[in-house]
């Protein structure tokens, strides 16, 4: 419990939307953008607040608060996940929707950025309560979303089941099956092969390219992973499977585990399923979330929440590569410290763009009603991620700026071009 509180305080102390605005200002300076364009980039187009009355198992009504922010749709329909989290705030959702905008642009998929969130604690809710909440949320946002407007997806504490309920509710409202309204669905409901591990797999492709650029041999390279949800678990599994990396540390909100000999990702997964945390693994040293950041490893993968690498602990980072599978794990001050130390950061909206890229493939398959096999999805994902990584690296070298600023330069240029051609600015 203590760990969860620490994370919540950090989130409260550093407003992720302020982080976004600082990042945009830096980019505007590099690209010499006009004040009007900068203002458009620093604010969402639309922000929706909804109240969701839900009948709980005890017979009483509980009212939940939810949000959907459509940040920018200049390049196409809004796209972005829905988080169910007790510490959710509108500013976090705004920040995440901005990062979705840059994320879709950096991998050059024809989508804008959006994000949703509901303040709730899924760990304390029954399946029936979660279903009623998911359906209530969909009813509340239904008029404002749709396959050609804004397409949600899973994120923290939501999954294929949540997406299925929401898709069903939207289909009932429309009076016909509407598979294209949401992505991250299970295969039996128009999901895409390869969507489950897409975020981690996409990240692995960028790590592979980074390792080539930095001349790091990935075989037996040591990896520490913070967060063991969908992104973190698959990152551990794929780092071992694809490259023969040695995962030496894993952790989740309750604590972590270290073993110099390596941790089997599947064993850690079972341990989390059975005991609710990877910190209960046997024959390991216990770690805190904070310890994981400063471990002497080749690759550090933050794969949980925002604001975990800060001005306070960035100097302790020893990894050669920080691969940000989480959204917003590094604060702007920490970014500067890592860059000065020569740490190669693969920024969040590049590193974790694999999820939305396969979501886009899912949308394409839903629209065509023709489904690809896993090999085709992997190959197309590899192509997108590899070319995006190479473009960001080249821009970072050309402008002598860090990888995040370089990714911003590419994304913002694309978004601004679309806004200008549409006559917005």
Which stretches of the chain bind ligand GLU, using CB under 6 A? 79-81, 103, 153, 155, 183, 327, 352, 355-356, 359
DSSP 309: B
User: Is 185 a residue of the active site?
Assistant: no
Q: Measured from the CB atom, is 157 or 339 closer to ligand GLU?
A: 157
Taking the complex as a whole, the smallest distance from the CB of residue 352 to ligand GLU amounts, in Å, to 6
* Main-chain phi, psi angles of 309, to 5 degrees: -110, 110
Torsion (CA) 283, 286, 287, 292 in degrees, nearest 10: -10
- Nearer to ligand GLU among residue 228 and residue 339 (C-beta): 228
Q: Hey, how many other C-beta atoms are within 10 angstroms of the C-beta on 285?
A: 12
| Residue 248 to residue 264: CA distance in whole angstroms | 9
Judged by DSSP in three states, 213 sits in: helix
The CB-of-130 to ligand GLU minimum distance in angstroms stands at 18
- Catalytic site residue from 115, 237, 240, 272: 115
Which tokens belong to 107? 């991998």
Smallest distance, Å, CB 362 to ligand GLU? 8
3-class secondary structure, 63: strand
Q: Is the Cβ of residue 287 or residue 325 nearer to ligand GLU in the bound state?
A: 325
Rounded Cα gap, residues 50 and 88, in angstroms? 13
Q: What is the DSSP letter of 143?
A: G
User: Nearest to residue 310, comparing CAs of 14, 6, 21?
Assistant: 14
Smallest separation, CB 42 to ligand GLU (Å): 20
In the complex with ligand GLU, which residue's Cβ is closer, 97 or 222? 97
**Minimum gap (Å) between residue 358 Cβ and ligand GLU:** 7
Q: How far apart are CA 278 and CA 275, in angstroms?
A: 8
| Separation of alpha carbons 78 and 96, rounded Å | 12
Q: Which is nearer to ligand GLU, 319 or 353 (CB)?
A: 353
Q: Which helix (H) or strand (E) holds 119?
A: strand 113-119
Q: Known catalytic residues?
A: 115
């Amino acid at each position: 419990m203590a760990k969860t509180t620490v994370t919540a305080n950090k989130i409260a102390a550093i407003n992720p939307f302020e982080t976004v605005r600082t990042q945009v200002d830096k980019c505007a300076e590099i690209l010499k953008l006009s004040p009007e364009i900068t203002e458009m980039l620093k604010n969402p187009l639309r922000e929706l607040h909804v109240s969701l009355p839900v009948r709980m198992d005890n017979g009483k009504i509980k009212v939940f608060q939810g949000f959907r922010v459509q940040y920018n749709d200049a390049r196409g329909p809004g796209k972005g996940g829905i988080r169910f989290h007790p510490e959710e705030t509108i500013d976090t959702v705004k920040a995440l929707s901005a990062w979705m905008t840059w994320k879709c642009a950096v991998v050059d998929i024809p989508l804008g950025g959006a994000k949703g969130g509901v303040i709730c604690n899924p760990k304390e809710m029954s399946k029936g309560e979660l279903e009623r909440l998911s359906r209530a949320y969909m009813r509340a946002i239904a008029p404002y979303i749709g396959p050609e407007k804004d397409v949600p997806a899973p994120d923290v504490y939501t999954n294929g089941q949540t997406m299925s309920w929401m898709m069903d509710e939207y289909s009932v409202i429309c009076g016909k099956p509407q598979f294209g309204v949401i992505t991250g669905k299970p295969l039996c409901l128009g999901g895409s092969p390869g969507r489950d591990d897409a975020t981690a797999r996409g990240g692995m492709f960028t790590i592979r390219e980074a390792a080539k650029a930095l001349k790091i041999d990935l075989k037996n390279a040591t990896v520490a992973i913070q967060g063991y949800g969908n992104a973190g678990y698959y990152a551990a599994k794929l780092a071992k499977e694809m490259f023969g990396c040695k995962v030496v540390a894993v952790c989740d909100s309750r604590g972590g585990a270290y073993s110099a000999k390596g941790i089997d990702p599947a064993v850690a997964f079972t341990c989390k399923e059975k005991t609710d945390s990877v910190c209960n693994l046997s024959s390991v040293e216990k770690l805190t979330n904070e310890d994981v950041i400063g471990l002497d490893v080749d690759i550090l993968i933050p794969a949980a929440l925002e604001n975990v690498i800060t001005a306070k602990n960035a100097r302790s980072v020893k990894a050669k590569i920080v691969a940000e599978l989480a959204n917003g794990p590094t604060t702007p001050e920490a970014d500067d410290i890592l860059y000065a130390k020569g740490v190669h950061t693969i920024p969040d909206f590049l590193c974790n763009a694999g999820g939305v890229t396969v979501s886009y493939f899912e949308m394409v398959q839903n629209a065509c009603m023709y489904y690809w096999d896993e090999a085709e999805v992997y190959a197309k994902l590899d192509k997108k991620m590899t070319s995006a990584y190479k473009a960001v690296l080249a821009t970072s070298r050309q402008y002598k700026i860090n990888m995040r600023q370089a990714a911003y330069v590419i994304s913002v240029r694309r978004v601004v071009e679309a806004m200008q051609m549409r006559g917005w600015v």
